[in-house]
Amino acid sequence: MDKKKWEELANKFKETTDKMGMRIDSGIFDLVVTLNALDFPTSASCWGHLERGVASPWLDFQPKLTPEIQTKKEEAKSLWAEVKKKESEGKAKTEIVKMLDEHHKLEKEVNKPMLLLAEELLKLLNDFYKDHSNEAEVTLVLRKIGNSAIRLESQGSIVQEVKPQLVKEENLLKYRSEMEKFSEYIKKDLISNK
């Protein structure tokens, strides 16, 4: 990846806002740009906040779907609605099972781009953790979000809501530090080698 591409994306993302009109958090901005420059399309991100949302940084990835996959996604959604309707009508279970099998096949095809993206992200994480270790709670992991997105976050972020405020604050600092180290690793070790 060349520096020009990174700068073009940085300029684009400086103007990007979410549905609430908020810009990308400055703490996670470089990582968002870098990952997108490496063809990991982010769809949302947050640096983590104590006063709202999750007290942990995270990035969501959502691959662009081809028209064919988008059509299959819509078919799967329609089929699911039909399954629910037939269940409520008390239709024969064999008919519903056939529909569920077809729905499952469609979902597998729809999820494939996301899972291939996750596989590539896992390679990055595996390389990062070859020379870097941390406590399990801080370790960056991927988690499926809905049917079409992957989230990168610290493993312990899932239980942040139940932590006492002081622990939550300490964890937020640790989780941010881990995300920063990952960002530095990607920029230094991967981009410089391209």
User: What are the pLDDT tens digits along the chain (194 aa)?
Assistant: 677 888 889 999 998 887 778 889 889 999 999 999 888 999 999 999 988 888 999 999 988 888 998 899 899 999 999 988 888 888 778 888 888 999 999 989 988 999 999 999 999 999 999 988 888 999 999 999 877 789 999 999 999 989 999 999 999 999 999 999 999 998 875 556 55
E strands in 64-176: 140-145, 149-154
Instruction: Give the neighbor-by-neighbor strand order of the sheet with 58-61.
Output: 42-46, 58-61, 149-154, 140-145
The structure's pTM equals 0.85
Instruction: Cite the DSSP H helix spans in 131-193.
Output: 165-185
Both ends of the chain: CA-CA distance in Å?
A: 6
| Of 73, 169, 152, 58, residue with least CA distance to 112 | 73
| φ and ψ of 97, to 5 deg | -60, -40
The pLDDT, as a whole number, for residue 189 is 58
* Residue in 42, 55, 45 with CA at minimum distance from that of residue 25: 45
Find all residues with CB under 8 Å of 23, minimum gap 6, and list them.
14, 16, 17
